[in-house]
A and B are shown apart, each in its own frame.
Chain A
Amino acid sequence: AQKITQTQPGMFVQEKEAVTLDCTYDTSDQSYGLFWYKQPSSGEMIFLIYQGSYDEQNATEGRYSLNFQKARKSANLVISASQLGDSAMYFCAMREARGFKTIFGAGTRLFVKA
């Protein structure tokens, strides 16, 4: 069965520093996609970054990068040069290639300090 685990309920980071949000997953499929979404206090879900299971390079999108370690089944999000606007809930998610549903982890609330 698919499962996403985010073990950090809350994280603090100093403005302009980098932060890593942890995510591990479990699936028996060989083909799947991993996602990170940001949910600010306003409630909307904002797509940040995607990593395919067959992608050899780690995904990067601006200040976001995904540290993908397939053998360890981990897909950690790295945010470089944190900004106050990065304070939000962050969800790791996975979708198997043969399915339609995306399953989400419990989320990590990130607080960026000035």
Chain B
Amino acid sequence: EPEVTQTPSHQVTQMGQEVILRCVPISNHLYFYWYRQILGQKVEFLVSFYNNEISEKSEIFDDQFSVERPDGSNFTLKIRSTKLEDSAMYFCASSDPSPGTGGKEQYFGPGTRLTVT
């Protein structure tokens, strides 16, 4: 069964450093998303991406964050200068808006745990 993959599974970085989290969405999906979950808290939407541009973003997604689809398979989230409060699990998701599914379901990757020290 196709699945969303994410690398690395765990990333440790120092405050102020740049990090890039990588995702490979399901191959025929067209909509891509990033969410984050601070430990013990709820999942929060960051950004959605369609047709090579951001379609929606939350107030969390400030200028420190950017997303890119550098090739036909990868979808990345970059945090330019990490802060302690960026420590969280970051989930990538993708969805297929075909008539059969109606774009109902977002398939989540296993997540990347980011620890900022």
Query: Which residues from chain A sit less than 8 Å from chain B, CB to CB?
Result: 33, 35, 37, 43-47, 50, 52, 91, 93, 99-107
Contact = CB atoms under 8 A, between A and B. Distances in A.
Contact of A107 (B42, B44, B107): B42
B111 interface: yes
Consensus secondary structure, chain B interface: strand
- Enumerate the 7 nearest inter-chain pairs by beta-carbon distance, A residue then B residue, closest first: A100-B48, A45-B108, A101-B45, A104-B43, A100-B56, A44-B110, A50-B104
B114 to A, nearest CB: 13
Given A33-B104, A105-B42, 4 more contacts: A35-B104, A35-B105, A44-B108, A52-B104
B91 A45 contact: yes
| Chain B interface size range | 20 to 34
A101 B108 contact: no
Given A43-B111, A47-B108, A103 B45 contact: yes
A102 B93 CA distance: 11
22 contacts: A35-B104, A43-B89, A43-B110, A43-B111, A45-B93, A46-B108, A47-B106, A47-B107, A47-B108, A50-B104, A52-B104, A91-B42, A100-B31, A100-B56, A101-B33, A101-B58, A102-B33, A102-B35, A105-B42, A106-B41, A106-B42, A107-B42
Contacts of B41: 106
Contact of A102 (B50, B106, B109, B113): B106
Nearest to A93: B43
B55 interface: yes
A99 B33 CA distance: 12
Contacts of A105: 42
